[in-house]
Amino acid sequence: MQELGFIGLGIMGKPMARNLLKAGYELVVYDINEQAIEELVESGAKAGRSSKDVAERSEVIITMLPNSPEVRDVVLGRDGIAEGAKPGTIVLDMSSISPIVSQEIAKELAKRQVIMLDAPVSGGEPKAIDGTLAIMVGGPEDAFAEVTEILLHMGSSAVLVGEIGSGNVTKLANQIIVALNIAAMSEAMVLAVKAGTDPEKVFQAIRGGLAGSTVLDAKMPLVLERNFEPGFRIELHIKDLLNALDTAHAVGTPLPLASQVLEFMQALKVDGKAKEDHGGLIQFYEKLAKVEVRR
Ligand code: NAD
């Protein structure tokens, strides 16, 4: 079995690391939050002292961090992975970050014969716990082949989309589709309530038709219960849509709908709801129409 490193033990990283331990891998872990390291050590991992230390002790290093600046810092910063990694090491970044930054980091690592794959995930905490995430990957084919088995202990699918950065381009596409779906659901359900119908019955009537979706089935029951516990936080979705806009501007593609939904989320953040689930987006529409969608 390969020696694995795992850096970033938050909502997603913790259950993903635990699934690798269950599969029998030796894991060295690190996080700036010491308590997260202790919890993983209790589950059978070894504690790393820094990202550099993890890199010195591993052949494949997985990172699951918030955004581009953290990944850049952990990989290329002081006491980072690049300082400790041997030639031939694979850095498997599973965070959702800017594809442009993935490409920049990979270029720096290549100077040290260290290979990088970007492999963001979709599915959230429940699928991270079950090991059934959908994983979208960018990078060299031979490196992907080397880590496929590892990925399939965390996800039920791992698709190599293309060159480095393609994983995060795919994730941005995923996040645009999810954000616009939640906005469409919110707009429609606020209308349904304002026009005097029962939102539960509207949901049941349409979910099997063309308007039905994974988003509708996942989010509508939570809205009806007024449960906006994350899940996926509004502040993380704002981060993804900002990365989508940066990338779109870099390649020359307007994102007229995504940019609007980004501002709806921004309004909720200003309203103190940044840490709520992105299903809470409906509250933006409810405020405009002065109704609440509930059972
Ligand atoms: P999180 O904030 O819960 O976890 C991030 C972890 O990284 C924290 O434990 C933090 O202490 C650690 N960290 C931050 N900076 C560090 C550093 N310099 N060195 C070491 N550790 C550091 O976030 P999360 O919800 O686990 O999300 C991680 C990534 O996965 C994000 O890019 C997010 O967009 C993506 N994602 C999240 C979900 C979800 O539902 N939560 C779903 C799909 C993808």
* Whole-prediction pTM: 0.94
CA of 66 to the centre of ligand 1 (A): 4
Instruction: Verify whether ligand 1 is closer than 6 Å to residue 65 (CB atom).
Output: yes
Last-in-domain residue among 139, 163, 187:
163
Query: What atom of ligand 1 comes closest to residue 124's alpha carbon?
Result: 40
Q: Are 136 and 182 contained in the same domain? A: no
Measured between alpha carbons, how far is 72 from 290 in angstroms, rounded to an integer?
44
175 and 156 fall within a common domain: no
pLDDT digits (tens, 9 = 90+) for 177-190: 999 999 999 999 99
Distance CA 60, CA 116 (A): 10
Answer whether 125's CB lies under 8 Å from 231's CB.
yes
Instruction: Please check whether residues 119 and 74 belong to one and the same domain.
Output: yes
Domain span including residue 110: 3-163
What end-to-end distance do the CA atoms of the chain give, in Å?
A: 51
Residue 109 in any domain: the answer is: yes
Domain count, the chain: 2
Q: What is the pLDDT of residues 46-72, one digit of tens each?
A: 999 999 999 999 999 999 999 999 999
225 and 150 in a single domain? The answer is: no
Same domain for 122 and 81 = yes
pLDDT tens digits, 80-137: 999 999 999 999 999 999 999 999 999 999 999 999 999 999 998 899 999 999 999 9
Question: Which CATH number does the domain housing residue 230 bear?
Answer: 1.10.1040.10
Q: Say yes or no to pLDDT of 18 above 70.
A: yes
pLDDT band at residue 1 using 50, 70 and 90 as cut-offs: low
Residue 201 annotated among the catalytic residues of the structure: no
- Both tokens of residue 73? 């810092």
Asked if residues 25 and 16 have their Cβ atoms less than 8 Å apart, the reply is: no
